[in-house]
Amino acid sequence: MERSLRCLALVGFLLAALPLATMADTPPAAVTAQASGYLTPPAPLQALVDAPRPPAVSISPHRDLLALTQAPALPGIDVVAQPELKLAGLRINPRVHAQSRFLFGTDLWLLDIASGKDIRLQGLPRPLSIATSSWSPDQRFLAFNQVDAAQGRNELWVVDVATHTARRLTALPLNTVAGRGYRWMPDSKQLLVQLQPEGQGAPPVASTIPTGPNTQQTQAGSGVKAIRTYQDMLRNEDDARQLEYYLRSQSALVDLDGKVTPLGEPALTLAISPSPDGRYLLRERVERPFSYLVPVESFPRRIEVLDRDGKLVKEIAHLPLVEGLPTGNDAVPTGVRDIDWRADAPATLVWAEAQDGGDPARAVEIRDLVLMQAAPFDQAPVTLAKLGSRYAGAYWGNGKLALIDEFWWKTRKVKEWRVAPDQPSQAPSLVHEGSSEDRYRNPGKPATMIDERGESRLLTAADGESIYRLGDGASPEGDRPFLDKVNLATGQSTRLFRSQAPYYEAALVLLDAEGKRALVSRESPSEPTNYYVRDLASNGPPRALTHFPHPLPQLKGVQKEQIRYKRKDGVELSATLYLPPNYDPKKDGPRPMLMWAYPTEFKSADAAGQVTDSPYRFNSIGFWGPQAFLAMGYTVLDHFSVPIVGEGNKEPNDTYVPQLVASAEAAVDEVVRRGVADRNRIAVGGHSYGAFMTANLLAHTRLFKAGIARSGAYNRTLTPFGFQSEERNYWQAQDVYQAMSPFNYAENIKDALLLIHGEQDNNSGTFPVQSERLYAAIKGLGGTARLVMLPNEAHAYRARESIMQMLAESNAWLERYVKQAKPAEGSGAGSH
């Protein structure tokens, strides 16, 4: 085995050295290597790209108003190609000292829930480009971040809700490199902001002549650590100085009349938030030494409490640089972790600390402590909970009621505890225990509300013992969202609402503390998502608040069905089958099909077989997923189950390829049996881990005539410290890494593979070189492939031109290698 692994490594090295070309020797029709400029797909696919998108919705603290922000059309490549810095895991637009974002809200208005009437706003900036928005705790104002990169503006604006007017709050520009850059103070009279420091001067200029090499060093004795493969790391001192320049911000308080009060000196602030009583500020800032291996979140950090003047009250922690963790997905850094204010107390900090050195391999009874420390922070922290696995967050109600979650990845076990924060010596009581994979028995998430200080709190009934839970309602018949009222003292649960066919309806927010009214979203296969008010005490129909039209009425006739079938090992599988409008399988015969999926690891075969999605959700035909090709006459099988199961002590990926192949075989057999797909004219595709799946299926089967793999990773030796959910490093599981890498089996890829990748992919592990090297291997081995590298695009593609290119390439590929393929004998397929 050792010799075979060395041979594989040698082959990989030789293939990596092959010259990179731009396309296969036999290009598909209508797509040529000599084509200049961006391509456009046929008109039915263009219509998907330009279809209107619904606005984003947020509810006010008093739960009587909605703020609606219109989603814009896709930006042009001129917008996406704006200057961008890639520093320590951050992507920064240097013109505006902001995270690189390109999809801004282009309109903003309010909706009165009682009357259902829209409220239009005056004085909004034009053109409007809203990055984020936030209600004041008293609901009198709505703040938003206006970013105009062309003009170099990053501004804070507020809407006066009573007068329906907007105004710029301050001319001083925000710094939103490490967050949204503003937050309401609890009294709603001021905002805590991060400003670009005044007098900072011009940005540092990179040296053109090196002053020496860039060096790194390690030494024996530090133990084995998992260092994931991150993108956009610092490369040299020039990068480090640029990071300091753009990350540095000035904290300040801004009054509603625009008065600015600076708080202390500028700092490399990652996060800052006020205590619920507004008397203190919790700040996290980074400092040198920086790292070339890990992102900014792992740099040395100081966690501090400041007063309202920005003066240091207490240093809570000084955390060192973290370059790697112990092996395992349950590994965490030591020291203060996940620190935040307790929402129901004036000024109390809560955080977790690992008791096992952060190493899941250590056998200990207590993994994490949950600790609290109250103002004035001069007493030792008290222990709120001792957990046998990792702290996973809290829901705060009052001094007698909070819920603490814990989770252990290795077993997928979850627990929820009830605690009394004001009586930490009182033993916690177990509320729920189960598996994170078991969707059928998921009790739902506790419902919350925004209190008078802007904090998210548990919504409790008048009895003080009952909370509300919102859940997906997964079941063998599909998801049926629910709303329950649960008495924590008795465990008795009362169902207040459950979605009923033929609609998919989900309760979003309770509009009162007694669970009598709820804001819900509602949709059906032919009706897009809209918002309603439902009276939970009656059986009457909900009252409509919005009336968003069907974005693509020409595709209203799309047929959708949730199907179930079995893998040969007995695992239950499911998928969503889509058929084009006016298509009758019995009359028209089987069609060419596009199948799309994303594999998922499980520790339980029963959980792996659970149904996901709902047959009653809107047939959303967008440009990103496979449903787009319904417009071109293909049948589509979306989200076909690809569970990779490893029960007990077995690891799922030890049998990845056999389980992957078995899942695909079962799906193909089922759609052929139903008469909706021609066995000889099926393509498979996926994005990211779905692209990895696609390449593997073409390497290990001849089930598909073609594959479309977008932004994937194909050589797992390039992600040697784990990938996706794989915990083991390459040296612990060499056979697994080698067997799972389709690059190692490139000679077996006999069917046509289209590889699409963003040139600036920012996702961990899916480096653009992954697609470049797989393409070079297939070309060098005489296979059929095409490589499309999209300029200025990251892991997901944003520019209208890029999306058009993606669709044009995919359509041409399917046309040549799938639609024009010879039909299976006896299929009865027509000319489609």
User: How many angstroms separate the CA atoms of 199 and 205, rounded?
Assistant: 17
Q: Does 213 map to a domain?
A: no
- As beta bridge partners, residue 687 has 710
Residue-wise burial string across 257-272, b where 16 or more C-beta atoms lie within 10 A, e elsewhere: eeeeeebbebbbbbbb
pLDDT(232) > 80: yes
The pLDDT-based confidence of 209 (bands split at 50, 70, 90) is confident
Q: Are 429 and 465 a contacting pair, CB within 8 Å?
A: no
User: How many angstroms separate the CA atoms of 242 and 96, rounded?
Assistant: 14
Closest to 628 measured CA to CA, from 72, 70, 71, 51: 51
Same domain (yes/no): 62, 41: no
Higher-pLDDT residue of 220 and 777 is 777
Helices 768-780 and 2-16, interaxial angle, to 10°?
A: 100
Q: What is the mean pLDDT of residues 695-722?
A: 97
CA distances (Å), origin 691, targets 140, 363, 413, 808: 48, 38, 29, 18
Same domain (yes/no): 265, 120: yes
Same domain (yes/no): 718, 657: yes
Instruction: Point out the residues that are catalytic.
Output: 688, 761, 795
DSSP assignment of 387-442, as one string?
ESSEEEEEEEEETTEEEEEEEETTTTEEEEEEE-TT-TTSPPEEEEEEETT-GGG-
Tell how strand 635-638 and strand 591-596 pair up. Answer: parallel
Written in H, E and C, the secondary structure of 73-91 is CCCCHHHHCCCCEEECCEE
Same domain (yes/no): 357, 440: yes
User: What pLDDT was estimated at residue 217?
Assistant: 82
CATH number at residue 111: 2.140.10.30
Tell me, rounded to whole angstroms, the distance of Cα 561 from its chain centroid: 26
Q: Which two tokens stand for residue 439?
A: 């969707």
The pLDDT-based confidence of 222 (bands split at 50, 70, 90) is low
Same domain (yes/no): 231, 290: yes
User: How many angstroms separate the CA atoms of 126 and 480, rounded?
Assistant: 42
Q: What is the mean pLDDT of residues 261-290?
A: 98
pLDDT tens for each residue of 158-174: 999 999 999 999 999 99
Q: What is the mean pLDDT of residues 589-593?
A: 97
User: How many angstroms separate the CA atoms of 688 and 391, rounded?
Assistant: 29
User: What pLDDT was estimated at residue 36?
Assistant: 62
Final residue belonging to a domain, choices 305, 322, 339: 322
User: What pLDDT was estimated at residue 224?
Assistant: 73
Same domain (yes/no): 255, 380: no
Q: Which two tokens stand for residue 65?
A: 């108003």
Q: Does 9 map to a domain?
A: yes
User: How many angstroms separate the CA atoms of 251 and 146, rounded?
Assistant: 19
CA distances (Å), origin 102, targets 71, 89, 576: 11, 18, 31
Same domain (yes/no): 166, 274: yes
Q: What is the mean pLDDT of residues 286-315?
A: 97
Q: Indicate the DSSP class of residue 734.
A: H
Q: What is the mean pLDDT of residues 515-536?
A: 96
DSSP assignment of 483-533, as one string?
EEEEETTT--EEEEEE--TT-EEEEEEESSTTSSEEEEEEEETTEEEEEEE
User: How many angstroms separate the CA atoms of 713 and 374, rounded?
Assistant: 47
User: What pLDDT was estimated at residue 207?
Assistant: 81
Higher-pLDDT residue of 36 and 214 is 214
**Residue holding tokens 């602030």?**
269
Give the other-Cβ count within 10 Å of 26's Cβ: 9
User: What pLDDT was estimated at residue 827?
Assistant: 63
Q: Does 98 map to a domain?
A: yes
Three-class DSSP category at 202: coil
Same domain (yes/no): 647, 717: yes
**Residue holding tokens 């409008």?**
581
Give the other-Cβ count within 10 Å of 511's Cβ: 20
Closest to 685 measured CA to CA, from 600, 594, 750, 795: 594
Q: What is the mean pLDDT of residues 521-542?
A: 94
pLDDT(195) > 80: yes
The pLDDT-based confidence of 333 (bands split at 50, 70, 90) is very high
User: How many angstroms separate the CA atoms of 135 and 144, rounded?
Assistant: 9
Q: Where are the beta strands (DSSP E) in 136-289?
A: 141-148, 153-160, 165-170, 182-184, 190-195, 250-255, 260-262, 269-274, 280-286
Whether a cis peptide bond, with omega within 30° of 0, leads into 376 is: yes
CATH number at residue 7: 3.40.50.1820
Q: What is the mean pLDDT of residues 647-656?
A: 93
Final residue belonging to a domain, choices 413, 432, 458: 458
Closest to 400 measured CA to CA, from 465, 487, 493, 452: 465
Give the other-Cβ count within 10 Å of 13's Cβ: 9
Amino acid at 697: L
User: What pLDDT was estimated at residue 210?
Assistant: 83
Q: Does 313 map to a domain?
A: yes
User: What pLDDT was estimated at residue 498?
Assistant: 96
Tell me, rounded to whole angstroms, the distance of Cα 265 from its chain centroid: 34
Q: How many domains does the chain have?
A: 3
Amino acid at 70: Q
Q: What is the mean pLDDT of residues 197-221?
A: 85
| pTM of the complete model | 0.92
- As beta bridge partners, residue 467 has 460, 486
Same domain (yes/no): 671, 602: yes
Same domain (yes/no): 142, 190: yes
pLDDT(49) > 80: yes
Q: Indicate the DSSP class of residue 824.
A: P
pLDDT tens for each residue of 457-497: 999 999 999 999 999 999 999 999 999 999 999 999 999 99
pLDDT(30) > 70: no
Residue-wise burial string across 136-173, b where 16 or more C-beta atoms lie within 10 A, e elsewhere: bbbbebbbbbbbbbeeebbbbbbbbbeeeebeebbebb
746-599-678 Cα angle (round to 5): 70
pLDDT tens for each residue of 173-193: 999 999 999 999 999 999 999
Q: What residues contact 361, with CB distance under 8 A and at least 6 apart? A: 326, 327, 328
Q: Which two tokens stand for residue 215?
A: 């060096």
CA distances (Å), origin 743, targets 9, 464, 616, 693, 781: 11, 59, 40, 12, 12
Residue 43 phi, psi dihedral angles, 5° rounding = -55, -40
The pLDDT-based confidence of 332 (bands split at 50, 70, 90) is very high
User: How many angstroms separate the CA atoms of 424 and 369, rounded?
Assistant: 12
Same domain (yes/no): 287, 396: no
User: What pLDDT was estimated at residue 625?
Assistant: 95
In the structure, how many helices (H) and strands (E) does the chain have? 11, 47
User: How many angstroms separate the CA atoms of 28 and 813, rounded?
Assistant: 6
User: How many angstroms separate the CA atoms of 273 and 263, rounded?
Assistant: 13
Q: What percent of the chain has pLDDT over 70?
A: 94
29: burial class by Cβ within 10 Å (0-12, 13-18, 19+)?
exposed
Same domain (yes/no): 59, 113: yes
Tell me, rounded to whole angstroms, the distance of Cα 135 from its chain centroid: 24
Residue 277, Ramachandran bin (φ over 0: left; ψ between -120 and 50: alpha; else beta): alpha
Q: Are 167 and 144 a contacting pair, CB within 8 Å?
A: no
pLDDT(8) > 70: no
Whether a cis peptide bond, with omega within 30° of 0, leads into 502 is: yes
User: How many angstroms separate the CA atoms of 121 and 117, rounded?
Assistant: 13
pLDDT tens for each residue of 107-120: 999 999 999 999 99
Q: What is the mean pLDDT of residues 657-677?
A: 98
Q: What residues contact 205, with CB distance under 8 A and at least 6 apart? A: none
Q: What residues contact 333, with CB distance under 8 A and at least 6 apart? A: 298, 319, 322, 325, 354, 358
Q: Does 210 map to a domain?
A: no
pLDDT(20) > 50: no
Residue 455 phi, psi dihedral angles, 5° rounding = -95, 145
Q: Which two tokens stand for residue 466?
A: 């009952």
Tell how strand 677-687 and strand 591-596 pair up. Answer: parallel
Give the other-Cβ count within 10 Å of 715's Cβ: 23
- As beta bridge partners, residue 382 has 372
Q: Does 67 map to a domain?
A: yes
User: How many angstroms separate the CA atoms of 578 and 566, rounded?
Assistant: 19
Q: Does 670 map to a domain?
A: yes
Range of the domain at 765: 2-47+552-819
Q: What is the mean pLDDT of residues 146-167?
A: 95
Q: Does 829 map to a domain?
A: no
**Could you give the residue ranges of the DSSP H alpha helices within 556-688?**
585-588, 605-608, 656-673
**Residue holding tokens 């640089």?**
321
Final residue belonging to a domain, choices 431, 458, 485: 458
